[in-house]
């Protein structure tokens, strides 16, 4: 019999399952708390009888993010992990320290199907979706390893979270549960390349998470060349979904814009972007593109970044250049896992 993923179950689901094994509600609660605490085996659940632990082992497994590699930035203390879940699944995550606490960037898939031309993860293809428990386990492993509490999460690591919608939604409910890791939903952001139908679904959930949208171009011509997803949902459709999301949730949308020299960084691009976003409840994050091996893309010059900020300001749009953390450890995701696969 295939073992079931016990850490992906909601509290009430666990209770119902254990009821069928003849166990009372308080047992489910005890087990749930052990799982939240980050145990890696049923034998660590010391307030359960030996017999019960053996029964649980026959039915369930506990997923765990094993630390394969860990890099610590000498500049700012940013920590980058390479985790494995089985012999073939490797993902990256990054822990950053800010004045308000620790923010962790986690992965939602091993690889990605979306094929953005500037992205290291996109270049490596897709292997599989991560389960809700595997998303939780990344946070648990980092918390245990660093002996800290993560207060903010960004789903901005490897993979497209809205292409793994059900598991990601389950994760969001589990991680924000007051008996769970208890990370407030308002402290969580999700970044998407623009899976429009799922943005509408997420809007209906009205969870209140912050949406980051990887726009990276002011028009369809440029965007379709760098982001194939644009051929399915163009910028107009994407921005319509974004407006609808921010109207319902009253949350500001963050637009990510990786600045690539001579591709999307001219004055005309900034004006076009300003025109499109004018009047929206939003913020633009400019990111000098990370130069990925196998691409010819170069970072935009500082002068271009400044020009973008001042042109966007004319349209009433605030834009900032994202602070780079962990630049000595290649802290942007996709690069470490990519290297490992090439070994």
- Size of site (CB under 6 A) for ligand SAH: 14
Q: With binding defined as CB under 6 A, does residue 34 bind ligand SAH?
A: no
Partner from ligand SAH, ligand SF4, none contacting 338, C-beta within 5 to 8 A by type: none
Note whether 193 binds ligand SAH by CB under 6 A.
yes
Q: How many CB atoms lie under 10 A from the CB of residue 342?
A: 7
Q: Quick one: what does residue 6 bind among ligand SAH, ligand SF4, none, with the CB cut-off 5 to 8 Å set by partner type?
A: none
Does 209 help bind ligand SAH (rule: CB under 6 A)?
Answer: no
Taking the least distance from each CB to ligand SF4, the nearer of 124 and 274 is 124
Residue 336 interacts, among ligand SAH, ligand SF4, none and using kind-specific CB cut-offs from 5 to 8 Å, with none
Distance between CA atoms of residues 67 and 147, nearest Å: 15
Nearest one of 255, 256, 254, 263 to 300, comparing CA atoms: 263
**Position 330 contacts ligand SF4 (CB under 6 A):** no
Stretch that binds ligand SAH, among 1-9, 43-51, 239-247, 283-291 (CB under 6 A): 283-291
User: Which one of 92, 160, 265, 272 is in contact with ligand SF4 (CB under 6 A)?
Assistant: 160
| Residues with Cβ within 8 Å of residue 36, at least 6 apart in sequence | 179, 180, 181
User: Which listed residue (258, 277, 312, 331) binds ligand SAH by CB under 6 A?
Assistant: 258
Contact call for residue 290 and ligand SAH (CB under 6 A):
yes
Binder of residue 92, out of ligand SAH, ligand SF4, none (CB less than 5 to 8 A by kind) = none
Residue with tokens 């930035």: 73
CB 211 within 8 A of CB 156: no
Max CA distance (Å), the chain: 70
3-state secondary structure of 177: coil
CA angle 307, 311, 313 (to 5 degrees): 120
Long-range contacts of range 261-264, CB-CB < 8 Å, 24 or more positions apart? 261/297, 261/298, 261/299, 261/300, 261/301, 261/304, 262/298, 263/222, 263/226, 263/297, 264/216, 264/217, 264/218, 264/222, 264/226
Report in angstroms the alpha-carbon separations of 93 from 2, 84, 136, 294.
28, 11, 12, 23
Q: Is 116 in the site for ligand SF4 (CB under 6 A)?
A: yes
Token pair of 245 as six digits: 């999301």
Contact segment (CB under 6 A) with ligand SF4 among 108-116, 127-135, 218-226, 233-241 equals 108-116
* Stretch of residues binding ligand SAH (CB under 6 A), selected from 217-225, 243-251, 261-269, 284-292: 284-292
Q: Is residue 229 a contact point for ligand SAH (CB under 6 A)?
A: no
Instruction: Work out which of 112, 183, 239, 292 binds ligand SF4, going by CB under 6 A.
Output: 112
Residue 124 or 218: the one with the smaller Cβ distance to ligand SF4 is 124
Q: Which residues bind ligand SAH (CB under 6 A)?
A: 118-119, 156, 160, 191-193, 214, 256, 258, 287, 289-290, 292
């Amino acid at each position: 019999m295939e073992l079931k993923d016990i850490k992906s179950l909601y509290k009430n689901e666990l209770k119902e399952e254990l009821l069928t094994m003849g166990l009372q509600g308080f047992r489910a609660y005890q087990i749930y708390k052990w799982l939240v605490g980050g145990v890696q085996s049923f034998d660590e659940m010391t307030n359960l009888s030996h017999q019960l632990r053996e029964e649980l082992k026959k039915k369930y497994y506990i997923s765990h993010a094993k630390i394969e590699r860990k890099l610590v930035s000498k500049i700012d203390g940013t920590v980058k992990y390479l985790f494995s879940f089985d012999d073939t699944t490797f993902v990256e995550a990054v822990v950053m320290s800010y004045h308000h606490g620790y923010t962790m960037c986690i992965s939602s898939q091993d690889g990605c199907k979306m094929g953005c031309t500037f992205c290291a993860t996109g270049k490596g293809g897709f292997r599989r979706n991560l389960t809700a428990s595997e998303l939780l386990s990344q946070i648990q492993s980092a918390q245990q390893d660093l002996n800290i509490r993560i207060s903010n999460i960004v789903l901005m690591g490897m993979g497209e979270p809205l292409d793994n919608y059900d598991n990601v939604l389950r994760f969001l409910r589990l991680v924000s549960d007051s008996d769970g890791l208890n990370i407030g939903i308002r402290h969580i952001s999700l970044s998407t390349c623009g899976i429009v139908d799922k943005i509408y679904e997420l809007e209906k959930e009205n969870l209140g998470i912050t949406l980051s949208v990887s726009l990276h171009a002011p028009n369809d011509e440029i965007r379709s060349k760098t982001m194939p997803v644009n051929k399915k949902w163009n910028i107009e459709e994407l921005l319509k979904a974004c407006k609808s999301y921010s109207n319902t949730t009253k949350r500001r949308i963050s637009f990510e814009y990786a600045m690539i020299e001579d591709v999307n960084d001219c004055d005309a691009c900034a004006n076009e972007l300003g025109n499109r976003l004018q009047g929206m409840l939003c913020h633009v994050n400019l990111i000098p593109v990370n130069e990925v091996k196998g691409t010819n893309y170069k970072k935009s010059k500082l002068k271009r970044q400044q020009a973008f900020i001042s042109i966007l300001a004319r349209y009433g749009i605030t834009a900032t250049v994202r602070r780079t953390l962990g630049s000595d450890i290649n802290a942007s995701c996709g690069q470490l896992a990519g290297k490992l696969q090439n070994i």
